[in-house]
Amino acid sequence: MRRFVADLHIHTCLSPCGSLDMAPRAIVDTALAKGLDLIAITDHNSCAMAATVGRIAAERGLGFLHGIEFQTAEEVHVLGYFDDADRCRAAATEAYSYLPDHRNDPLAFGDQVIVDEHETILRIEPKLLVNSLTLTIEEVFALIRRHAGLAVPAHIDREAFGIIAQLGFIHDNLRPALVEVAGETVPSTVGDVPILRSSDAHSLEEIGRRTTTIVMDAVSVRELRWAAAGVNSRAILG
């Protein structure tokens, strides 16, 4: 078993609220400089940048999970983690068809640029990504699971886009293996569900400001799920 210091909620320059400094190589360099062993890219309703960051992470020996931060019809943020680019891309493609066709206004929301490893702009995403899908939270969980992913309610202790503020509680039928908490206080409604702490970084300085130490045998969605369940000495240590 190995201990991974993980930050599993990082945005890139694709997210309109993210800094344009959040380019693939800069993210990986910053994560390594801050002593991280594992990161996940979780842009809003898209994973168009994840594969590029993942390739650089693999070259540098940094653990990596592909991710998406989905926004449900109830305005709840849900993190979806996937083992590879193909599964993540398939989930993102399905979700994109449920994203309203509202054009992004860069002056109001920020740029949504997709770049390569050399920071060359490949294209600009026209749809506003920080918008709610026309899918309920149950449907988003089902979508993530259809593509062999792990669904984690994001920053559940926040007023904005947190499941408890938006819905009042965590539905029993969702049964998340993990929940993410942004602050120091864990809501009492969480019960004994393991806690993930991540940075929700939108700038390089924010990467690694909150981390979780995860004990597992390797980097995979299954191992993360087993760590949450405490299988064979795996653990989420906070």
Strand partners, 28: none
Dmax of the chain from CA atoms? Answer: 51
> Could you give the CA distance from residue 19 to residue 14 in angstroms, rounded to a whole number?
9
> Could you give the CA distance from residue 74 to residue 63 in angstroms, rounded to a whole number?
32
> Could you give the CA distance from residue 7 to residue 22 in angstroms, rounded to a whole number?
15
Strand partners, 123: 114
What residue ranges do the domains of the chain occupy? 2-236
Identity of the residue numbered 171: H
DSSP notation for 108-154 = HH---EEE-TT--EEEE--B-SSS--SS-HHHHHHHHHHTT-EEEE-
Backbone angles phi, psi at 140, to 5 degrees: -65, -45
In this predicted structure, what is the pLDDT of residue 189? Answer: 64
Strand partners, 83: none
- For 78, half-sphere exposure in the C-beta direction (CA atoms, 13 angstrom radius) is 32
> Could you give the CA distance from residue 67 to residue 51 in angstroms, rounded to a whole number?
10
In this predicted structure, what is the pLDDT of residue 188? Answer: 60
Q: Are strands 38-44 and 2-10 parallel, antiparallel or unpaired?
A: parallel
Q: Is the distance from CB of 236 to CB of 198 less than 8 angstroms?
A: no
In this predicted structure, what is the pLDDT of residue 123? Answer: 93
Q: Is the distance from CB of 162 to CB of 156 less than 8 angstroms?
A: yes
> Could you give the CA distance from residue 59 to residue 79 in angstroms, rounded to a whole number?
25
From first to last of its 238 residues, the chain has per-residue pLDDT tens of 999 999 999 999 999 876 779 999 999 999 999 999 999 999 999 999 999 999 999 999 999 999 999 999 999 999 999 999 999 999 999 999 999 999 988 888 888 999 999 999 999 999 999 999 999 999 999 999 999 999 999 999 888 898 877 877 677 788 898 999 987 777 666 678 898 999 999 999 999 999 999 999 999 999 999 999 999 999 999 6
Q: In the chain, what is the straight-line distance between the N-terminal and C-terminal CA atoms, in Å?
A: 17
137: which 2 tokens?
A: 């939270």
User: What pTM value is reported for the model?
Assistant: 0.94
**Can you identify the CATH homologous superfamily of domain 2-236?**
Metal-dependent hydrolases (3.20.20.140)
